[in-house]
Chains A and B, each alone.
Chain A
Amino acid sequence: MIDVENLNVTFKSGNALMHAVRDVSFFVEEGETFGIVGESGSGKSSVLRAIAGLIESTHSKLSINGKPTSARQARENSRLMQMVFQDPYGSLHPRHTVDSILREALIIHSIDNQDKCILKAIADVGLGVEHRYRYPHQLSGGQRQRVAIARALILSPPILLLDEPTSALDVSVQAEILNLLGRLRESYSLTNILVSHDLAVVAHLCSRIAVMQFGRIVEVISAEDLRRGKTKEAYTAELIFASRGFSRVS
């Protein structure tokens, strides 16, 4: 469904050229949840933003459902894919109520029955009607992330891009949001790309996982192999070891 070949992203900082993503290629099947893991600065978020059309990229192929996509067709892309961002405190407009945040896309795409759509979206992510006219500062982090998910799903896109959707939340809320994402994947039959630095999160939701380092994909591994520690590359083993946390050498 999502076909990426030789994706490159470069950033200019002053005169220096920063090559954030180098020749990344992968393919995501319909209905699959594809994971991308890596440490900070490995370029995983840049891959996602390039697919979303939020940053410029060069590539030999970047197509969704067989159709090439580019940053210039944001309006067409918006019914095709949406994104949930890492920081629920920065991804909601501080002066808009939940209602107007959700209504935005419906107005842009002139969709009828807006109130019904909004109520359904609120219910789908497990919020109550009492949250509808609240401002983001009146919501908790988990509730904000639910609003962000509702906003992403209100146009019923087949593809949902998840950029570290749980890393800004505390552990108990993380589990709730992950379960919600798992449930919505079924009810909306979503294709997901999940970016995370948390191997447990990725192994929980994804079927295949790309491991990134220094802007390249080191290895694509199945969740099964990841759990069993059957890695081909040394870096993946290192990452798994690091994710188990600190162990004392006695």
Chain B
Amino acid sequence: MILQQSQTLSQWLQTDAPVSARQAAAGKTYRAIRSIVANPAALAGLIIILLLIAVAFLAPFLARGISPIAQDLDNRLHAPDLAHWFGTDELGRDIYSRTLYGARVTLAMVLLVSVIVVPIGLAVGTLAGFLGGWIDSVLMRITDIFLAFPRLVLALAFAAALGPGIENAVIAISLTAWPPYARIARAETVTISKSDFISAAKMQGASTWRILFKHIVPLCLSSVIVRLTLDMAGIILTAAGLGFLGLGAQPPTAEWGAMVSAGREVILDQWWVATIPGVAIFIVSLGFNLLGDGLRDVFDPKST
């Protein structure tokens, strides 16, 4: 919709009488963004995540052309100085550059896990909650079985069975991460299904699929996204744990967990090798947790 001359952008976004569906949606997004930005902790989280994304994209530029896998055995375990801002590791690779490139691996894993986990969790949970009966029992008992295993141990088992590598680590983490999402989606769906607006949709002849996709999933999505953001820290830590144990990214790929693992043997004499990637894991996990808390406040259905 074209902006009128007399209107500023913020007036256009904040009007209580939008003239098109797009303006209404833009206004809703604008209010959501404003309430995230108004929350200092959430804003800090958002900035950290945006920085992570920026670092991942700009890694070659920020690393000043230093390759993350170029070895320099004369300069191994070199302390931080002007040439190597975060020092070098046991093969003389620049830790600053490796940390930046490690953001790419972390971001890719987090994205892939989300893309796998959310649809599976939503599908299982909404179907179980909406259809009920034996479908509900079967789907939820399968979920219970997955929940019965300790997450890292199950991920380890899958990663070991599938073989080491980033893709397999993603699959292993996803296979262990989806059950809580199915649980949340089911609980939400059971509540939503009793609402009058679902009865109204049924009376208008909406099919089961239409009710699921158009009415129930959009309402489940907000709590699932909040849960996902809060889970990100756990996913990053599991990924790092798999990397630490040698089941995640394989050398020479720069991955934070594997970097911590490599620094373990020299942690007392060359502290920077394990500390820098550890700090990176810490900051990113913290960012996701802060953002998750903020999103929970914004998406809280009770506030609308």
- Give A residues with C-beta under 8 Å from B: 49, 52-54, 74-78, 81-83, 85-87, 90-95, 97, 99-100, 104-105, 108-109, 130-131, 133-135, 137-138, 148, 151-152, 155
Contacts and interface: CB of A to CB of B under 8 A. Distances in A.
B262 interface: no
A95 B16 contact: no
Given A93-B197, A108-B204, A133 B23 contact: yes
A108 B28 CA distance: 26
B202 interface: yes
11 contacts: A74-B202, A81-B203, A83-B199, A91-B196, A93-B201, A99-B24, A100-B21, A134-B16, A134-B18, A135-B24, A148-B200
Contacts of A77: 203, 205
B17 interface: yes
Nearest to B17: A130
B7 interface: no
A91 B21 contact: no
A93 B16 CA distance: 18
Contact of A52 (B203, B205, B210): B203
A82 B200 CA distance: 8
Chain B contact patch, size range: 20 to 34
A99 B200 contact: no
B189 to A, nearest CB: 14
Nearest to B216: A93
Nearest to B218: A95
B204 A99 contact: no
Contacts of A108: 204-207, 210
Nearest to A109: B205
Nearest to B192: A93
Contact of B197 (A54, A92, A97, A109): A92
Of all A-B residue pairs in the complex, the 5 with the closest CB atoms, nearest first, are: A130-B17, A91-B196, A75-B205, A78-B205, A133-B24
A135 B16 CA distance: 9
Interface string B193-233: 00111011111111100100011001100000000000000
Given A94-B219, A104-B204, A104-B206, A54 B19 contact: no
Interface in B1-54: 16-21, 23-24, 28
B22 to A, nearest CB: 9
Given A134-B24, A138-B16, A151-B200, A90 B205 contact: no
A49 to B, nearest CB: 8
Contact of B28 (A74, A85, A135): A135
A57 B53 CA distance: 57
Contact of B199 (A85, A105, A109, A155): A85
A47 B143 CA distance: 38
Contacts of B201: 93, 104
B196 to A, nearest CB: 4
Contacts of B202: 54, 74
A148 B215 CA distance: 16
Given A130-B16, A151-B204, 18 more contacts: A54-B199, A54-B203, A81-B203, A85-B199, A86-B196, A91-B197, A93-B201, A97-B21, A97-B24, A104-B201, A108-B204, A108-B207, A109-B205, A133-B17, A134-B16, A137-B304, A138-B16, A155-B204
A130 B20 CA distance: 10
Contacts of B196: 85-87, 90-91
Nearest to B197: A93
Interface in B109-142: none
Contacts of B17: 130-131, 133-134
Given A133-B18, A138-B16, A93 B203 contact: no
A75 B21 CA distance: 27
B251 interface: no
Interface in B220-261: none
B301 A78 contact: no
A90 B215 CA distance: 13
A138 B23 CA distance: 14
Contact of A82 (B16, B18, B203): B203
Contacts of A87: 196
Contacts of B207: 108
Contacts of A92: 197
Q: Which of B21, B203, B215, B301 has the most CB of A within 10 A?
A: B203
Contacts of B301: 94
Given A83-B200, A93-B215, A151-B200, A133 B20 contact: yes
A71 to B, nearest CB: 9
Nearest to B301: A94
Contacts of A133: 17-21, 23-24
Contacts of B195: 90-91
